[in-house]
Homo-oligomer: A and B are copies of this chain.
């Protein structure tokens, strides 16, 4: 039920994933609403079922309170199905805070993990850059930032097919003395780790392919993400405004159309799919609130990849390496 275009787009996306990937999907939400939507797609009825959840959490409700009070909300019920192993993964385009709270409260964290982080695979001209965290934890401690690095590294290797991911710490300068205390301490931990840590990276390094995984706090990460999402629209607007000023530039734009469509495709976040909430004991994928059906389908694909690659098991293994080592680096 979550997201700006639910339940219509959510159901269409689910139907597409069921058809294209052969997923078995349980739609969680108010039964009568979902039945009406699903009736439009009779072909996939054998692979899509409905689990009734009468409550819906709004985008502006307090995450923790709403999760506690609205026990039968679609997000709570989805996570319960995951906890009871009735499903392998959950995708939600609802309120991020509620999804994080429900997942953390019901599933708990993976052994050794101190805080969960949302990792997003950002499309850039030089390929995918993973950014972790984009909104689960707005004031992380150094340990959390360090663990974001470990989890991001695992995710790049296991899911994004990057065998030796370059991990960078987002900061306001390259020198290790830059940034807040938490960031400076995280730098030390990362430098002492077995990760392929390339040091601090700056805002400009988001797009230039300098690293595969960028670590940041959820406040900066969330703001950055929204800036990046708005860039494509901004550039398209600017371009339209300028080329329509003369007939010649209009013709030029028409001729450029195939190139422009390619650029649009390369920078389309709906192709990149959902963002895994890494660190919780279960596969939870956060889809964008404004997900259309294609974005929902992509998020379901990402969910299946997370399940197939057993990324959580790998995270537990990697995190366990640093229990002593990490304390030694700091102590």
Decide yes or no whether A48 CB sits under 8 A from chain B: no
Give the segment of A146-154, A173-181, A190-198, A273-281 that binds chain B: A173-181
Which of A20-71 touch B at CB < 8 Å? 60, 62
Decide yes or no whether A252 CB sits under 8 A from chain B: yes
**Residue of B60, B125, B204, B224 touching A203 (CB-CB under 8 A):** B224
Which of A196-210 touch B at CB < 8 Å? 202-204, 206-208
Give the segment of A77-85, A106-114, A234-242, A309-317 that binds chain B: A234-242
Decide yes or no whether A268 CB sits under 8 A from chain B: no
Contact code string A274-309 (vs B, CB < 8 Å = 1, else 0):
000000000000000000000000000000000000
- Is the CB–CB distance between B170 and A223 below 8 Å? yes
- Is the CB–CB distance between A226 and B242 below 8 Å? no
Looking across the interface, which residue of chain B has its beta carbon closest to that of A125?
Answer: B238
Given known contacts A239-B263, A263-B242, A180 and B256 CB-to-CB distance under 8 angstroms: no
Task: Report chain B residues within 8 Å CB of A231.
Answer: 207, 231, 235
- Is the CB–CB distance between A229 and B256 below 8 Å? no
Task: Compute how far the CA of A256 lies from the CA of B257 in the bound complex, rounded to whole angstroms.
Answer: 11
- Is the CB–CB distance between A218 and B172 below 8 Å? yes
Given known contacts A139-B180, A234-B125, A243 and B256 CB-to-CB distance under 8 angstroms: yes
Looking across the interface, which residue of chain B has its beta carbon closest to that of A172?
Answer: B222
- Is the CB–CB distance between A263 and B248 below 8 Å? no
- Is the CB–CB distance between B239 and A249 below 8 Å? no
Task: Report chain B residues within 8 Å CB of A245.
Answer: 259, 262
Decide yes or no whether A3 CB sits under 8 A from chain B: no
Indicate the size class of the contact surface on chain A: 35 or more
- Is the CB–CB distance between B263 and A255 below 8 Å? no
Task: Report chain B residues within 8 Å CB of A229.
Answer: 203-204
- Is the CB–CB distance between A226 and B238 below 8 Å? no
Contact code string A154-192 (vs B, CB < 8 Å = 1, else 0):
000000000000000011100101011000000000000
Contact code string A119-137 (vs B, CB < 8 Å = 1, else 0):
0000011000000000100
Decide yes or no whether A225 CB sits under 8 A from chain B: yes
Given known contacts A180-B138, A223-B170, A263-B242, A234 and B251 CB-to-CB distance under 8 angstroms: no
**Residue of B138, B175, B228, B258 touching A227 (CB-CB under 8 A):** B228
Task: Report chain B residues within 8 Å CB of A238.
Answer: 125, 263, 266-267
Known: A203-B224, A224-B227. 14 other contacts (CB 8 A): A135-B172, A138-B172, A138-B179, A171-B223, A179-B219, A203-B229, A207-B231, A208-B230, A223-B224, A231-B231, A238-B263, A252-B252, A252-B253, A252-B254
Spell out A's residues near B (CB within 8 Å).
60, 62, 124-125, 135, 138-139, 170-172, 175, 177, 179-180, 202-204, 206-208, 216, 218-220, 222-231, 234-235, 237-239, 241-243, 245-246, 248-249, 251-260, 262-263, 266-267
